[in-house]
Amino acid sequence: MSQILDVIPNSLIYSANRKHKSNRYYKRLPLRVHLVTLLYGVFSYCNGLRELCEGMLACEGKLSHLGLDKAPARSTISDANNKRSYRVFETIYYGLLKQYHSFISDSRLKGLSIRNLKIIDSTTISLFSDLLQGVGRNRLDGSRKKGGIKVHAMMDAFSGVTEFARITAAKEHDRQFLYKLNLQPGSWLVFDKAYNTYHHFAKWTHEKIWFVSRMKENAVFHVTKVLVDKTRRKKAVGVIKEQYITVGVKTNGAVTARLKLRRITYKTKEGKIYVYITNDFTLPAAKIATIYKNRWMIELLFKQIKQNFPLRYFWGASDNAIKMQVYCVLIAQLLMVVIRKKAATKKSFANMITVIRLHLMSYVELLEFIKDTYKAWRKTHNASFAFST
């Protein structure tokens, strides 16, 4: 655990503390101790504060390695989760991302000849809470309605981590996330049809921001030019139709402009048909289909986070505590990506997390242990045996 914490520079924690003055109003649990405690809970997969605190009590003889004098009390952690702003953990996450972005990025993404590819999507996490209500009807028996939070994320395709996140109630529409993005000219965006809004498409085209998405079935458009049409060929696969189209851009409910887009129909070997739209007119149509195919990466990221970190139960009922835990999970996922890259291991992400969880407080060399667990364990065991004799 102490070796994992070494990946987080103390200067980053100090600067985040100064920015948000997080120790000024809550001195009983300093920021670093709070962060270490929550990360211990994340890596141990604790489903509640009681599990977290009792687990740390069992490790009191080793807590000095983490910079802790003793295990924090459950009431102290609960108060800090509610009172200390989650923004300080958000700042720590983005600080870590800025420091390690170039290290974890892979420029050899298969099938892509573009740079700065961002993938946008959201995932819903169910919970019972009056603060962040989910969608759905009220229960007839009068019991509490199941709520939820929605994590909107923009993922960097070349690093495999979340570059920007926003946490809202589950009922908020995905399109609202687009208003929060700050994108550089030349960026590429990939998202599903839930985010389709022609007003944003026109704005991005003007700013030279390129996108690929799927077209809605009920979309209204006008075909201006047909470049490819293989729809009458029975055995045709791949790009079977390519068109230039225009769509209406509305302002206050009325169409005020026409936006020129490219419409590509793609057929898989299994016979499934996908219709893509993009504002790029230079890349080959097959490349556009490949770019959209990489949208699958963000689904794998959400699955990776939900399966390997504690997001089924929360360590507090307040809005602040819930968001704080989500950002701690994002910090943990980023730390694991960095450590996995340093170790150059062939282990899967899930297998690596399981090994770390089981040996979180063991005296082993982290990178060696992840790369070859049996070899590292024998080395440690033999060294201990030789010292004792």
In a domain, 65, yes or no: yes
Please report, for residues 94, 163, 276, the alpha-carbon distance to residue 332 in angstroms, rounded to integers and kept in the order given.
13, 14, 35
Containing 119, the helix (H) or strand (E) segment is strand 117-127
Please report, for residues 198, 201, 235, 285, the alpha-carbon distance to residue 260 in angstroms, rounded to integers and kept in the order given.
10, 10, 30, 16
CA atoms within 13 A on the CB side of 268: 9
In a domain, 127, yes or no: no
**Residue-range definition of the domain harbouring residue 379:** 2-90+313-388
In a domain, 177, yes or no: no
In a domain, 327, yes or no: yes
In a domain, 340, yes or no: yes
Label residue 8 exposed, middle or buried (CB < 10 Å: 0-12, 13-18, 19+).
buried
pLDDT for res 387: 47
pLDDT for res 111: 59
Where does 222-318 have alpha helices with state H? 285-293, 296-308
Domain count for the chain, please give it.
Answer: 1
In a domain, 68, yes or no: yes
Strand partners, 126: 148
pLDDT for res 134: 44
In a domain, 35, yes or no: yes
What pTM was estimated for this model as a whole?
0.84
Strand 210-214, strand 273-278: pairing: antiparallel
- For the stretch 257-273, pLDDT in tens is 899 999 999 998 888 99
67/33 Cα distance (integer angstroms): 8
- Neighbouring CB atoms inside 10 A of 378's CB total 11
Positions of the chain with pLDDT lower than 70, given as ranges: 107-112, 127-147, 380-389
pLDDT for res 9: 93
pLDDT for res 127: 65
- For the stretch 231-241, pLDDT in tens is 888 888 889 99
276/212 Cα distance (integer angstroms): 7
**Cβ-contact 171, 134 below 8 angstroms:** yes
In a domain, 349, yes or no: yes
